[in-house]
Copies of this chain bind each other. A is one copy, B any other.
């Protein structure tokens, strides 16, 4: 089998995801957090970013080909007239940029490692789409058009009003006027825009209407496209956070044993009691509904017990969130494993992501079974997940774009709440430590020590970092 996690993937599938939306107007307006676009563009943006993360996470080689960056290489700061369809020079250069992106994409596929390319441009005319379709068809690549449309006037205006306050362009202006002015800009672009039409019914496409409240799916053929489309149709852009926590310290943690289904320790129970306050401290917007997810193992259910009781949040138990199955090593300490299965122990250190415990699982296996969890997380809004070290590493890796080979070695300490908040340009992370001691369950490569410190010790009670784009 190939190295892809989506289980299985036909050897020869090559997909070109073609983004379709209003012209990427207002790029110069993007201020800091990139909140200053219209809603259609926002959807395309989020889709491109998360689809790339998702594909990386499941191990499918993917790459974005951004036509704008080819264009900018030649015309770093185009005047507004550049985008005028009657400007012949502008048209010629935009065409050249599209051709350069296409040519690089084909080369990348031909080199043999590419599976999914994302062609990121506005592709807002039927002519341009036909050209892409034919180019892909010739090269035996499936073109999957993904269009974002918004015709809900309330949604458009709400979005404009939400973001306009931060734009330098409209500083000092009357907010209502600024919003109307921006709305008019969008209308101008709409004139030149051609939505995917009835004469394009032979294309494979997905239309996301009003941020996915309606989804139209046309002519999906292969397995990977169907997975991608299912993923796409679950995305939303509502503001939300996802909280991650390991269970409180367990009896097995104390003895250094892995796996099992032990109870939480006294200190673990203290963490369970502290969790509701830790959640509040992390910041929960007013009137926010949060859902608690745990695994089916006792230590996570016990750890979420007080949170559930105090808040009345809805709670779900997922078997898919159970800890990585360590097979024959279940219940052993690392020392015992190193002694009893020295070759396995070394093999695991060599390639921790792919190493599968005898009769158990690898990190790769866990990622496969977590896929429905990720799908459901994308559909959901505010969720706190109380689960296990290996599982948390995999979920964290998805949101923070951590490479496969690195994720099994990450430190996710006990008694620490992680808050992830998706932003326009990445996911923001905050960590909140409960002031309750716990053993460290982190183990360095090559050692079998029971309780080790992670090299880069986290000192501050709260630290913040952001996944770079």
Contacts and interface: CB of A to CB of B under 8 A. Distances in A.
Contacts of A215: 216-218
A411 interface: no
A319 interface: yes
A7 B319 contact: yes
A319 B360 CA distance: 12
A338 interface: no
Contacts of A365: 319
A335 interface: no
A368 B368 CA distance: 13
Contacts of A172: none
Contacts of A214: 201, 216-219
Interface string A19-52: 0000000000000000000000000000000000
Contacts of A234: 226
A8 B292 CA distance: 12
Nearest to A12: B314
A277 interface: no
Interface string A211-253: 0011111110001001000100110000000000000000000
A147 interface: no
Contacts of A368: 319-320
A327 interface: yes
Contacts of A230: 230
A446 to B, nearest CB: 27
Contacts of A10: 314, 316
A325 B7 contact: no
Contacts of A233: 217
A10 B317 CA distance: 10
A376 interface: yes
A267 interface: no
A214 B202 CA distance: 10
A214 B216 CA distance: 7
A320 B226 contact: no
A327 to B, nearest CB: 7
Given A218-B214, A226-B234, A359-B327, A317 B379 contact: no
Contact of A317 (B1, B219, B316, B327): B1
Nearest to A223: B376
Given A214-B217, A217-B233, A230-B230, A7 B223 contact: no
Interface in A423-441: none
A296 interface: yes
A202 to B, nearest CB: 10
Contact of A7 (B213, B217, B318): B318
Nearest to A326: B359
Given A214-B219, A217-B233, A376-B223, A320 B359 contact: no
A383 to B, nearest CB: 12
B376 A359 contact: no
A330 interface: yes
A348 interface: no
A306 interface: no
Given A1-B296, A234-B226, A320 B219 contact: no
A359 B314 CA distance: 29
Contacts of A8: 316-318
Given A216-B216, A217-B233, 6 more contacts: A7-B319, A7-B372, A213-B219, A214-B217, A259-B359, A330-B359
6 contacts: A1-B296, A10-B316, A215-B217, A226-B234, A327-B359, A372-B372
The 6 A-B residue pairs with the shortest CB-CB distance in the complex, in nearest-first order? A8-B316, A215-B217, A214-B218, A216-B216, A330-B359, A1-B317
